[in-house]
């Protein structure tokens, strides 16, 4: 468990901030870093220490990262290259599977350990400590990582070797694409048919067509609340990794690419920071 462990957390956005908070609540000795320092202030007020990444790396036994793209993770790992031998890095970012495999190999050369541990469950899952986490890496390291992340995980699983966590996350994103399209297409059709969208949410969402996506995003559609949540920018980033991985293995993901092309319409209108449920708005305008 985390109690008494010296942990570092890099990346305190809508996901990382609440996750780091759960570690504090469970007694971790926590050092944090974020590019925008103001996002760390609430955690520092609760007892966390703030440090630049190079200093953070020297203070911690386990370092967790939750940033953006593959290149962002590389930048963090380079800044923390002087961490003591044996340091365990747990990366919660969604990146390319090949990138995660390369990171595992590179850190092994440095005497460090690396587990790719992407997350799903959205900002509410992070706030409630109910994320699902897919962990890939060496078995002993994954077992240790599962114990570290318990304060904010509802489900966590060892899914294979280095890079397997990312492959699982991309598989998850492909499933989400279909569920998102189904919801938004359904609701836009209902709207144009003159149906009561509240009834659609309750009756259809409560039946065979129901899903996590329906439960969590239909209320946003009713109020046209496009605040993230999970942003179009991040979803399209993930879909880009899905496209790359699918191309490498010869997998067809036409539904995912269709959803990406529809979200691109909103992205190009300057709405990259809206929640993905705004796909409903794009379909209404088609």
Active site residue ranges? 169
Least Cα distance to 10 among 42, 56, 47, 58 occurs for 56
Q: Reduced to 3 states, what is the DSSP secondary structure of residue 273?
A: coil
Cα torsion 262, 266, 272, 273 to 10°: value is -110
CB 172 within 8 A of CB 119: no
Alpha carbons 206 and 201: distance in angstroms, whole number? 7
Alpha carbons 195 and 76: distance in angstroms, whole number? 50
Q: Which tokens go with 71?
A: 């290149």
With left for phi above 0 and alpha for psi between -120 and 50, is residue 27 left, alpha or beta? left
Least Cα distance to 125 among 81, 183, 172, 88 occurs for 172
């Amino acid at each position: 468990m985390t109690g008494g462990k010296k942990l570092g957390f890099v990346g305190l956005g809508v996901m990382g901030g609440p996750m780091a908070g759960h570690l504090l609540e469970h007694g971790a000795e926590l050092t944090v870093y974020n590019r925008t320092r103001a996002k760390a202030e609430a955690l520092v007020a609760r007892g966390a220490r703030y440090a630049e990444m190079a200093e953070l790396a020297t203070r911690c036994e386990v370092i967790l990262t939750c940033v953006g793209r593959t290149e962002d993770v590389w930048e963090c790992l380079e800044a923390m290259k002087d961490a003591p031998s044996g340091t365990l890095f747990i990366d919660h970012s969604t990146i390319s599977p090949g990138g995660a495999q390369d990171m595992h190999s590179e850190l092994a050369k440095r005497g460090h350990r690396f587990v790719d541990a992407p997350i799903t469950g959205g900002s509410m899952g992070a706030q409630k400590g109910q994320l699902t986490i897919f962990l890939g890496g060496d078995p002993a390291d994954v077992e240790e990582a599962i114990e570290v992340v318990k304060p904010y995980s509802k489900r966590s699983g060892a899914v294979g070797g280095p890079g397997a966590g990312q492959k699982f996350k991309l598989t998850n994103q492909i499933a989400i694409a279909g569920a998102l399209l189904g919801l938004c297409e359904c609701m836009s059709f209902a709207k144009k048919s003159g149906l009561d969208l509240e009834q659609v949410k309750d009756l259809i969402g409560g039946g065979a067509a129901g899903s996590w996506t329906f439960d969590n995003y239909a209320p946003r559609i009713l109020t046209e609340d496009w605040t993230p949540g999970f942003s179009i920018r991040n979803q399209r980033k993930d879909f880009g990794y899905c496209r790359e991985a699918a191309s490498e293995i010869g997998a067809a993901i036409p539904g995912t690419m269709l959803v990406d092309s529809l979200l691109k319409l909103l992205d190009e209108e300057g709405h990259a920071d809206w929640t993905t449920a705004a796909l409903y708005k794009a379909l209404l305008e088609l």
